[in-house]
Amino acid sequence: MTETIAPLPAGSLEGKTALVTGSSRGIGADTVRYFAQAGANVVINFRNKAPRAEKLAAELRELGVEALVVGADLTDPASVQAMFDEVARTFGSLDVLVLNASGGMESGMAQDYALLLNRDAQVNVLETALPLLGEGSRVVFVTSHQAHFIRTTATMAEYEPVALSKRAGEDALRERIPALEAKGIGFTVVSGDMIEGTITATLLERANPGAIAARREDAGKLYNVAEFAAEVARAALDPVPADNTRLVGDTSSFTGE
């Protein structure tokens, strides 16, 4: 985290438990850190960065909260079930679920990997978590403007498969809003522009040199990891928007405003 931000009031998540997928680094790590600073017990989920996840957990325990580290491959339903079984054994319930982990630009993955991770796995993670989520709990799905607006605004060719799969995931999750509301569970999509310092931005820059600088110039400002994570964290506490959407940063390039 490059700067000190305390986006949530001290003690505002006291006695609550929050799980953030893909939280060993980047936006997920800062989001889980903000939850812990607000008093929440946290679940740090990783796929293959165990040492980094354990280091973060040790840091957060210094705040006086419990931090559970659970490795899981979100594309493997049995692995996801095992993760939530461990959450149930440790905490009994879950108050905040942030669907942060995504991908699809990695090399060497199967052709349908982006859709498998960004749509199918997201829905399965939510459905597997449902027995632990009670009235008043929150689900937050993290996405990008490039994905959120992909139906009306084209994006870079290198990012298009990811954008389409993340939008498909968002749509599939939105279909579940009535059922979530019936259980008293709030659902918010947090969409942001390209974020400085993320893996996605790095991969895009590698595939399309100058892409991030061009987007920064077009938008006027790009959020960094800490700033965007603060918006994700706030979405877990703020009232759910009427359209279940929290747009972060400039959208004029996407909405034609």
Per-residue pLDDT of 114-137, as tens digits, reads: 899 999 999 999 999 999 999 999
Confidence bin at 139 (pLDDT 50/70/90): very high
Q: How confident is the model over 93-112, as pLDDT tens digits?
A: 999 999 999 887 666 666 78
pLDDT of residue 12: 97
For the chain, the average pLDDT equals: 90
What is the side-by-side order of every strand in the sheet holding 94-99? Answer: 67-71, 41-46, 17-20, 94-99, 133-144, 186-192, 245-248
Q: Which domains does the chain possess? A: 17-249 (3.40.50.720)
pTM: 0.91
* CA nearest to 194, candidates 166, 162, 167, 219: 219
Q: How confident is the model over 174-222, as pLDDT tens digits?
A: 999 999 999 999 999 999 987 776 666 676 677 778 777 777 777 677 7
